[in-house]
C-alpha cells in the first residue's frame, strides 16, 4: 500500500466519523422510531453519497481525459476549497438537538427514513464538489485507468460512511451523549482539511 492510499483511508475515516447533518438524521430516526428506522436512514444517506461517487468517477474522468490540464486546475481549486472548508467548519457552539434541524420538525413515519436520508445527500451538490476537491489530492494524474481509481477511492469512502452510520443507527442513545461530551473531536476535520489543502499546494507545486 502506498502513502497516498493510506492517507486517504485515514482521511475518509476521520471525515465519516465527524458529526454532521446526515449523522444526526440517522441518530434521530433511530431514537424516534427504533433501530430499524436508523438503519434504513443510514442506507438512504449513503445511497445519496454513492450517486456522487459514480458521477465523480465516470463524468469527471471522461472530461479529464479530454483535457489533461484540467486535472491540475481542479486539483488546485480543490485544495483551495478544502482550505475554505477548514475555515467554515471550525467548531461553533452547538448541540445534538440544535444540529438536528432536518428531523426535529418532521412528522414522517419510519417508512420514509430511507428516502428522506437519500434526499438529504442527493439535494446537496456540495457533496459532489467535496469529492471533486478531495479525491484528486490522493490520486496522481499518472494513475491509470483514472476512473477506476476515482471509483475505488469513492467506494472506500462510501463503505466507511455505511459502517459509521449503521453503527450510529444501532447505538444512537449511547452515541448521543458521547458526541455531546467529545467537543474536542470537532476540531479534527477542519485541521485535516487545512493540512491536506496546504500539503497539496506545496507538494504539487500548484
Q: How many domains does the chain have?
A: 1
Higher pLDDT among residues 185 and 43, named by residue: 43
For residue range 139-198, what is the model confidence (pLDDT) as tens digits? 777 777 878 888 999 999 999 999 999 999 998 877 777 766 666 766 776 787 788 778
Q: Which residues contact 62 (CB under 8 A, 6 or more apart)?
A: 147
Residue 12 lies in a domain: no
pLDDT at 88 over 50: yes
What's the CA gap between 124 and 32, in Å, rounded?
Answer: 24
Give pLDDT, residue 117.
83
Residue 14 lies in a domain: no
What is the overall mean pLDDT for the chain?
77
What's the CA gap between 153 and 132, in Å, rounded?
Answer: 12
What sign for the dihedral angle of Cα 80, 82, 85, 89? negative
Residue 11 lies in a domain: no
pLDDT at 48 over 80: yes
Residue 32 lies in a domain: yes
Q: Which residues contact 181 (CB under 8 A, 6 or more apart)?
A: none
Question: Between the CA atoms of 118, 71, 57 and 22, what dihedral angle is there, to the nearest 10 degrees?
Answer: -20
With a pLDDT cut of 70, the percent of the chain lying above it is 76
What's the CA gap between 191 and 180, in Å, rounded?
Answer: 20
Cell of 109: 413515519
Give pLDDT, residue 7.
85
For residue range 96-152, what is the model confidence (pLDDT) as tens digits? 444 443 444 444 556 688 988 888 777 666 677 777 778 878 877 777 787 888 899
Note down the domain range covering 122: 20-204
For residue range 59-81, what is the model confidence (pLDDT) as tens digits? 766 676 677 777 777 778 777 87
Please report which confidence band the pLDDT of residue 93 belongs to, taking 50, 70 and 90 as the band edges: low
Residue 166 lies in a domain: yes
Contact 19, 91 (CB under 8 A): no
Give pLDDT, residue 106.
44
Residue 6 lies in a domain: no
Residue 10 lies in a domain: no
Residue 15 lies in a domain: no
Give pLDDT, residue 121.
78
Name the pTM for this structure.
0.68
Amino acid at each position: 500500500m502506498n502513502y497516498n492510499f493510506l492517507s486517504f483511508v485515514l482521511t475518509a475515516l476521520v471525515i465519516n466519523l465527524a458529526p454532521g447533518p446526515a449523522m444526526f438524521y440517522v441518530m434521530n430516526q433511530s431514537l424516534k422510531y427504533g433501530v430499524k428506522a436508523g438503519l434504513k436512514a443510514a442506507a438512504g444517506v449513503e445511497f445519496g453519497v454513492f450517486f456522487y461517487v459514480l458521477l465523480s468517477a465516470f463524468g469527471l474522468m471522461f472530461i479529464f481525459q479530454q483535457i489533461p490540464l484540467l486535472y491540475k486546475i481542479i486539483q488546485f481549486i480543490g485544495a483551495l476549497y478544502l482550505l475554505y472548508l477548514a475555515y467554515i467548519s471550525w467548531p461553533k457552539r452547538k448541540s445534538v438537538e440544535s444540529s438536528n434541524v432536518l428531523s426535529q420538525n418532521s412528522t414522517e413515519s419510519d417508512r420514509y427514513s430511507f428516502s428522506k436520508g437519500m434526499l438529504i445527500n442527493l439535494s446537496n451538490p456540495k457533496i459532489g464538489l467535496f469529492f471533486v476537491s478531495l479525491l484528486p489530492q490522493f490520486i496522481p494524474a499518472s494513475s491509470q485507468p483514472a476512473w477506476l481509481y476515482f471509483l475505488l477511492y469513492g467506494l472506500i469512502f462510501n463503505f466507511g460512511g455505511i459502517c459509521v452510520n449503521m453503527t450510529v443507527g444501532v447505538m444512537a442513545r449511547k452515541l448521543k451523549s458521547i458526541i455531546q461530551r467529545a467537543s474536542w473531536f470537532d476540531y479534527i476535520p477542519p485541521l485535516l482539511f487545512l493540512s491536506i489543502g496546504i500539503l497539496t499546494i506545496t507538494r504539487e507545486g500548484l
